[in-house]
Amino acid sequence: MSQLLFRSTNGQSPAVNLRTAFLAGQAPDRGLYLPETFPRLTQEEIAEFAELPYREVAFRVLRKFTADLIPDDALAAMCNAAYDFGVPLEVIQRGVYLMRLDQGPTASFKDFAAQMMAQMFGRFLQEDGGQVTILTATSGDTGAAVAHAFHEIPGVRVIVLFPLAEVSESQRKLMTTLKENVRTVAIDGKFDDCQAMVKRAFADPALEHIHLSSANSINIGRLLPQSVYYFYAASRLARPGEPMVFSIPSGNFGDMMGCVVAREMGLPVRKIIASVNDNDSFPRYLHSGVYEKISPSRNSVSNAMNVGHPSNLARLVAVYGGQMDETGKIHRAPDLAAMRRDIFSTSINDERTRTSLRDFWNKYQILLEPHGVVAWQGFLDWCAAEPIGSTPAVIVETANPAKFPEEVEKVVGWAPDVPAAMNTGLQQPEDFDRMGADYDQFRAYLLKAHAA
């Protein structure tokens, strides 16, 4: 089997294997890694997933990327260790389903990628006895998922940056109550400030000796596990070879890119609905062909999507033949006609989010949280523009409503129960550092942490 190689979206760095791309997080030219060619799954292989548990589906999808690096028995053991939780698929109405990705230890879809990434980091570092510092910027859920997944993993130090005023209390406590190898830093700024500081650190020659990596969706190791649940859902809800519609709440566009990866691997997809909040740079680009990032990002009740310039747009543009650099400048235009054919994107403001959450509960007696509601309302917007017919559709719910108790109670009149997995962390004392959105201060912090 020939080795699968990954290239930077900026095109100025050499192609590397998965191990190198995974451990680096970001390419030296500040681009993001994508496979040179996507491995394929046949419709027969996808149909077989219908009879398999989630961990086995993950094994069969991920081995397409890891076969030349990780033996099958080792990868199977890693999938078993990562995925001891399920993926409920609930009927909303005929042909329309809710995929709940909130069953992991931090009640967020980020657990699916973070748990697998921790397994892979642990294996790669064990092989060469190395150490790595994982930098992660979070708008809410990534930090908790990464902190829990990598907690006490040998050879790994985790540093999480989060915007102090823009995460919920539950989101904050799930990442600030861990100790040992996990440190959290509250930034007096926006998520985009946190993300910019992380990206700048990766390109800083003064920090090369620290061996930095990322568990954000800039790391290709985040996207690959996030492709699995689309295969899982399709194998159970669609006939073999039947295209589906997926409506996905989108902030940094990592979850949506997971669906694109699945599609490029052979999953039949009629339409991807990328629903955003007031940070509407992508739907405006899709409509006008002119990309203008939003700075500063706009606050929203769907706070994990408060991203003014989604990093993964560089990957999406690359899939459609274009090239966007890390600043959002487009050097080569993608095939916008094809992108518009495949993807629908809409912006759902806070008023519509709250109204839709209330209406959904009243109509279906199913409780969503703000991000899942954005996906639902985006689906309704698409249906108004393009009749769905008999195509099966999945609404992606990315977090448990208990992570947003104040907002949910304000809308429906009662607070959801806290899952047992979350409750333990919420009772522990917090410990985090705090600084301004100042890169020089952050660099000094990293150097001091490395020397400790």
Confidence class of residue 154 from pLDDT cuts 50, 70 and 90?
Answer: confident
CATH topology of domain 88-107+223-412: Rossmann fold (3.40.50)
Give which of 265, 312, 316 is closest to 63, Cα–Cα. 265
Task: Give the per-residue pLDDT at 192.
Answer: 87
Give CA–CA dist 255/372, Å, rounded: 13
CB atoms within 10 A of CB 64: 18
The model's pLDDT over 330-362, given as tens digits with 9 standing for 90+, comes to: 999 999 999 999 999 999 999 999 999 999 999
The model's pLDDT over 214-269, given as tens digits with 9 standing for 90+, comes to: 888 889 999 999 999 999 999 999 999 999 999 999 999 999 999 999 999 999 99
| Token pair listed for 183 | 């440190």
How confident is the model over 418-423, as a mean pLDDT? 78
452 three-state secondary structure:
coil
Give CA–CA dist 93/414, Å, rounded: 24
Domain map (residue ranges) of the chain: 88-107+223-412
pTM: 0.93
pLDDT at residue 73 is higher than 60:
yes
Residues 6+ away with beta carbon under 8 Å from 121: 22, 23, 132, 134, 150, 153, 155, 156, 213
* Average pLDDT score, the chain: 94
319 to 10, 12, 397: CA distances (angstroms): 13, 17, 25
The model's pLDDT over 94-151, given as tens digits with 9 standing for 90+, comes to: 999 999 999 999 999 999 999 999 999 999 988 877 789 999 998 778 888 999 999 9
Give which of 439, 414, 9 is closest to 201, Cα–Cα. 439
In terms of residues, how long is the chain? 452
Task: Give the per-residue pLDDT at 425.
Answer: 67
Give CA–CA dist 207/397, Å, rounded: 38
Confidence class of residue 1 from pLDDT cuts 50, 70 and 90?
Answer: low
| Token pair listed for 355 | 């109204």
Say if CB 442 and CB 207 are below 8 A apart.
no
Give CA–CA dist 197/440, Å, rounded: 9
Residues 6+ away with beta carbon under 8 Å from 357: 368, 369, 370, 373, 408, 411, 412
249 three-state secondary structure:
strand
Confidence class of residue 27 from pLDDT cuts 50, 70 and 90?
Answer: very high
Q: pLDDT higher for 165 or 378? A: 378
Q: How wide is the angle at C-alpha 448 spanned by C-alphas 447 and 451, nearest 5°?
A: 85
The model's pLDDT over 32-48, given as tens digits with 9 standing for 90+, comes to: 999 999 999 999 999 99
